[in-house]
């Protein structure tokens, strides 16, 4: 069976398993990524994960500063004559001029069960909303934001201990499996586009720093979801004595007749704090200007004790 000529659009680590699958099974002729950006504490200008991977494989790479109205970029894509463009966490919306180039259209590997969680941050918002399952949608792209017809979907459970990092890894691996299956079905003439229903549609906007903020007046279960949803960024955080305290690991526990912000217990497990509903066990934290540490270490350093209020 013929191998499809594929141009892959992607940028972060999430896109690596899918691009590896395409490289191993199809004819990956070029990669389009985001331009190099300052990264890390030293703000060194470095390539994104997909560009680094592609350069190591000797694959032709394009990293345009902009796509909309970029006539030269459109010309190069047309000359490449791809059968298919596959998009996975690229970070920019593709204009009509790009969508019309490949013979079989542009397919997006989206990390939700569309029409739920259209947009930039579907993994984070699925955890925050308490979803029990999510998945991958292979979608035929149109000019809207994740509104195109569905080609194939695969589901995965969201476990109670999953955070945005662990769930992203599951979905990244599932994305590789899904795109290869979709291509095989397409070659056999068995892939039928299904329009997305508008009923049940929701939006997962780009994360902002303030999304991670919480107070102990919120329910413990909701704070725990924030902790899991916003790792590694923006991280769930609150203010203690006027300074930021980031929380990397926490667990909601049942508790009655407790006061929000009151420390109920301190031991090697962590700091148990009252909330508006239940109690929150702080397990791993990072005080402002310091390294990550166990909540027990933090409590010892601050000389906290049961009955104190975290203000």
Strands 44-46 and 243-253: unpaired
32: its two tokens: 């389009």
CB 295 within 8 A of CB 282: yes
> Strand 5-10 vs strand 84-88: parallel, antiparallel, or unpaired?
parallel
Annotated binding site for (6S)-5,6,7,8-tetrahydrofolate: 112-115
Residue set of the binding site: 112-115
8 A C-beta contact, residue 237 and residue 214: yes
C-alpha Rg value of the chain to the nearest Å:
23
d(CA 310, CA 300): 14
Task: Give me the helices (H) in the chain, please.
Answer: 16-25, 49-57, 71-80, 96-99, 122-128, 164-187, 220-229, 295-302
DSSP state of 150: E
DSSP 46-73: E--HHHHHHHHHT--EE--S--TT-HHH
d(CA 64, CA 97): 15
């Amino acid at each position: 069976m013929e191998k499809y000529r594929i141009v892959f659009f992607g940028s972060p680590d999430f896109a690596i398993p899918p691009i590896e699958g395409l490289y191993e099974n199809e004819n990956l002729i070029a990669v389009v990524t985001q331009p190099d950006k300052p990264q890390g504490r030293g703000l060194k200008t470095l390539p994104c994960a997909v560009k680094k991977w592609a350069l190591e494989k000797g694959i032709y790479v394009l990293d345009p500063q902009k796509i909309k109205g970029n006539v030269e970029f459109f010309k190069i894509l047309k000359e490449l004559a791809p059968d298919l463009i596959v998009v996975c966490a690229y970070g920019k919306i593709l204009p009509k001029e790009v969508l019309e180039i490949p013979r079989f259209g542009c397919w997006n590997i989206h990390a939700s069960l569309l029409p739920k969680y259209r947009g930039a941050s579907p993994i984070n918002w699925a955890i925050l909303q308490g979803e029990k399952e999510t998945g991958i949608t292979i979608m035929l792209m149109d000019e809207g934001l994740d509104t195109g017809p569905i080609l194939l979907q695969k589901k995965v459970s969201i476990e109670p201990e999953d955070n945005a990092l662990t769930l992203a890894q599951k979905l990244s691996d599932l994305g590789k499996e899904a795109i290869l299956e979709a291509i095989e079905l397409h070659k056999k003439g068995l892939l039928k586009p299904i329009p997305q229903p508008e009923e049940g549609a929701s939006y997962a906007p780009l994360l902002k720093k303030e999304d991670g903020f919480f107070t102990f007046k919120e329910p413990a279960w909701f704070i725990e979801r924030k902790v899991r949803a916003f790792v590694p960024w923006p991280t769930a955080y609150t203010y203690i004595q006027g300074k930021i305290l980031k929380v990397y690991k926490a667990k909601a526990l049942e508790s009655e007749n407790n006061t929000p912000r009151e420390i109920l217990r301190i031991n090697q497990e962590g700091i148990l704090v009252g909330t508006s509903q239940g109690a929150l066990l702080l397990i791993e934290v990072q005080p402002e200007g310091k390294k990550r540490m166990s909540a027990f270490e933090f409590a010892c350093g601050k000389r906290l004790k049961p009955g104190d209020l975290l203000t």
